[in-house]
Structure 1
Amino acid sequence: MNINLGEEISRRRREQKLTQEDLAELSDLSVNFISRLERTKDQNISIQKLDAIARALNTTTPELINSAYRFKKVKSDGPKDNTPIFIQKVVNELRKLPKGQAERVCKSLIVILKEID
């Protein structure tokens, strides 16, 4: 499976209100490298550089990679999703949680929904 780490790095950087220059300084990499990484899909990055970026973003390399997989946009060949927006928001929030925590929340929601019926 192909992932775009640059999208995840950019998302986390913006979430922490960092500029590309800030991230470059914190990771001891060049601004040009950070910029290229965030905007291109063809990425060739060493584990050392990825570790430096992860540390600068206050995370770990495995978590950065896992998040890039988790937030990967999947193209649908079918009709446009008609799921109500509030359900989409719940699903998006669940995707942000660690797997074990998301499973516990889902199980709790199922119990609650069954009690409502």
Structure 2
Amino acid sequence: MNNNIIGTNIANRRHALNISQEKLAEASDLSINYISRIERGASKHISAESLYKISKSLNISMESLMERKNTNHINPGPQQEKLINYLQNFNLEKSETLSKHILDLLMNYHIEL
């Protein structure tokens, strides 16, 4: 796995959430120096445990941090991410039902999608 991809994805997500390396280090119980090295791609090995701690602190999946992103893809904002994560906690049928209700609510208020 290319650590530059992981580091870039971590930095992008951290910036999207508007949090500092210091806050991420504190939330993930890792050092600021280590977070900085990961983001720069200077850390040759990132343990699964460290990646898990970072992903939980950034409220994103480990897989998302490891994948090469399409440059045309727009990352969801923090509130959208919370909604996505909330919906993913349900089985597919319940998640689809809740999604339909949310869309109906938006349509009733004439919010353009």
Larger CA deviation: 7-16 vs 39-48: 39-48
The number of residue pairs the alignment matches comes to 75
State the AA in 2 paired with 1:21: E
In structure 2, the CA distance between the partners of 1:10 and 1:47, relative to structure 1 (3 Å rule), is same
Counterpart of 1:2 in structure 2 is 2
Mark the CA change 1:64 to 1:19 in structure 2 (over 3 Å): closer, same or farther. Answer: same
Show the counterpart of 1:44: 45
Q: Deviations over 1:46-76 (max 9, x none)?
A: 000000000000011112212xx124xxxxx
Structure 1 gaps of 5+ residues are 72-90, 98-117
**Counterpart of 1:11 in structure 2: which amino acid?**
N
Structure 1 residue 11 displacement after superposition: 0.6
Equivalent position amino acid for 2:72 in 1: N
User: How far, CA to CA, are the matches of 2:37 and 2:43 in structure 1?
Assistant: 10
Larger radius of gyration: 1
Letter in 1 for 2:47: S
Structure 2 counterpart of 1:45, one-letter code: I
Distance 1:47 1:28, change over 3 A: same
Supply the distance in 1 between the matched residues of 2:30 and 2:54 (Cα, whole angstroms).
8
Percent identity reads 40
Residue pairs, 1:95-106, within 5 angstroms:
96=75
Note closer, same or farther for the CA distance 1:42–1:49 as it changes in structure 2 (3 Å cut). closer
Residue 70 of structure 1 aligns with an amino acid whose one-letter code is K
Pair 1:70-2:69 in alignment = yes
Amino acid at match of 2:2: N
1:27 and 2:28 aligned = yes
Q: Which runs of 4+ in 1 moved over 2 A?
A: 40-43
**TM-score of the pair, normalised by structure 2:** 0.58
Provide the aligned C-alpha RMSD in A: 2.2
Deviations 1:80-102 (A, max 9, x none): xxxxxxxxxxx714x658xxxxx
TM-score (ref. length: structure 1) = 0.56
1:100 alignment partner in structure 2: none
Q: Unaligned regions of 5+ residues in structure 2, if any?
A: 77-113
Residues 96 and 20 (structure 1), Cα distance of their counterparts in 2 relative to 1, 3 Å cut: closer
